[in-house]
Amino acid sequence: MFQKKFIPISNSTFRQTEWTQSTSPQPATGLLIDQFSRQLSDLRISVTDRCNFRCTYCMPKEVFTKDYPYLAQTELLTFEEIVRIAKIFIRHGVTKIRLTGGEPLLRKNIEDLVSMLSQLRTVGGHKIDLAMTTNGALLARKARTLKEAGLDRITVSLDALDDTIFKQMNDVDFPVSTVLEGIQSAQEAGFSPLKINMVVKRGSNHQEIIPITRYFKDQPHILRFIEFMDVGNSNEWAQNQVLPSAEIMQILADAGMPLMALKAQNPNDTATRWRHLNAQGEIGFISSVSQAFCHSCSRIRLSTQGKAYTCLFASGGHDLRSLIRDPQYENDDQKLSQTIRQIWESRIDRYSAIRHENQTLIQHPDRKKIEMSYIGG
Ligand code: SF4
């Protein structure tokens, strides 16, 4: 039987990471390396700043009221503009694109954008790896058309199985059954495995860890636990509301669901991979607070309004929309490419690593972070 002990969630390379700025010359190819030798490979595109949920850890309804200054339609990048910018990022080494929001399925004709992006090829000639993160509310209706449009993978946020707790987390009284139907429809449409993301907030939904693990442990889908993060400025984050991944793993072991480590599929994946010892299911842990993974962060985010953000916890972004709407650059992508190169090559972001080293460094009251609902998770 299993010893009661805490299992370190990863080999904590994090602690061994020496944050020395790279001196090596930039590659001649289009590939981009930042100041900490991290190569750009992932582009996350937020296609709307609106959502039909008001998850307390992302878009609390006290802040995101109906009078909140959401973006006007004219401020949003058009699909053609998104594709133009995506092509330049691909030339600079992006191989994976994730569509986010707000809630991406709220963007009208989103399938058209999926179809346009799914035509794109990486520098190596491969189909771009096209994924989407959704809250699943509209998934049952959209799954098949998304698949036909060329979407490769879907991640569904599911913060509880219990309907009452689920409604408390989304704070709009939305039933869990509809999201579970959406997951079923996506699987029937050919999306498998899906990734199922549960944000764990101690005192709000931690009691759902065991039921949701039992529910998915014999399914092909990958359940991932995400530590509650201090994203944006509105979710009233506190360290004591974070349930570290190592504790979640102990809760599972104590409930007779011990896990064993699996090899990372990608060195810059955000989740560590585990599988059940006594079942087929895979489990992931995204431990931005207790085990920061900034040392391998290869992600850049494009907001709905066309600003590039080099970190989820950034305070400011780089305006690309004015560049592509400037008549003098109408048919000239050189300027856009140079701008993207400068943005990434001068990048020094490592917010979570700093948070881990010394929280006081990041808790300056005037430091306003971009809202997650604006740039996607
Ligand atoms: S905190 Fe910023 S730099 Fe670190 S992993 Fe997250 S997005 Fe990347």
Give the CATH number for residue 99.
3.20.20.70
Please give the Cα distance from 110 to 48 (Å, whole number): 10
pLDDT of residue 11: 43
Q: Judge whether 65 lies within some domain.
A: yes
Please give the Cα distance from 47 to 45 (Å, whole number): 6
Please give the Cα distance from 359 to 110 (Å, whole number): 39
Helix, strand and coil in the chain, % to nearest 5: 35, 15, 50
Please give the Cα distance from 65 to 174 (Å, whole number): 17
List, for the chain, all residue ranges whose pLDDT scores fall below the cut of 70.
Answer: 1-18, 21-29, 359-365
Nearest CA residue ID for atom 3, ligand 1 = 350
pLDDT of residue 24: 61
Report how far apart the first and last C-alpha atoms of the chain are (Å, whole number).
38
Give strand pairing partners of 260: 275
Q: Judge whether 217 lies within some domain.
A: yes
3-state secondary structure of 319: strand
Does 296 contact ligand 1 (Cβ within 6 A)?
A: no
pLDDT of residue 6: 41
Q: How many independent structural domains does the chain possess?
A: 1
Please give the Cα distance from 230 to 301 (Å, whole number): 17
Q: Judge whether 116 lies within some domain.
A: yes
Q: Judge whether 271 lies within some domain.
A: yes
pLDDT of residue 13: 43
Please give the Cα distance from 375 to 45 (Å, whole number): 7
Nearest CA residue ID for atom 4, ligand 1 = 294
Instruction: Work out the mean pLDDT of the chain and round it to a whole number.
Output: 92
pLDDT of residue 1: 38
Please give the Cα distance from 201 to 206 (Å, whole number): 6
Does 294 contact ligand 1 (Cβ within 6 A)?
A: yes
Does 352 contact ligand 1 (Cβ within 6 A)?
A: yes
Q: Judge whether 120 lies within some domain.
A: yes
Q: Judge whether 260 lies within some domain.
A: yes
Host domain of residue 207: 31-375
Q: Judge whether 13 lies within some domain.
A: no
Find the 278 Cα to ligand 1 centroid distance in Å.
34
pLDDT of residue 357: 80
pLDDT of residue 177: 98
Q: Judge whether 239 lies within some domain.
A: yes
Does 286 contact ligand 1 (Cβ within 6 A)?
A: no
Please give the Cα distance from 260 to 281 (Å, whole number): 11
- Give yes or no for a contact between 190 and 197, defined as CB atoms under 8 angstroms apart: no
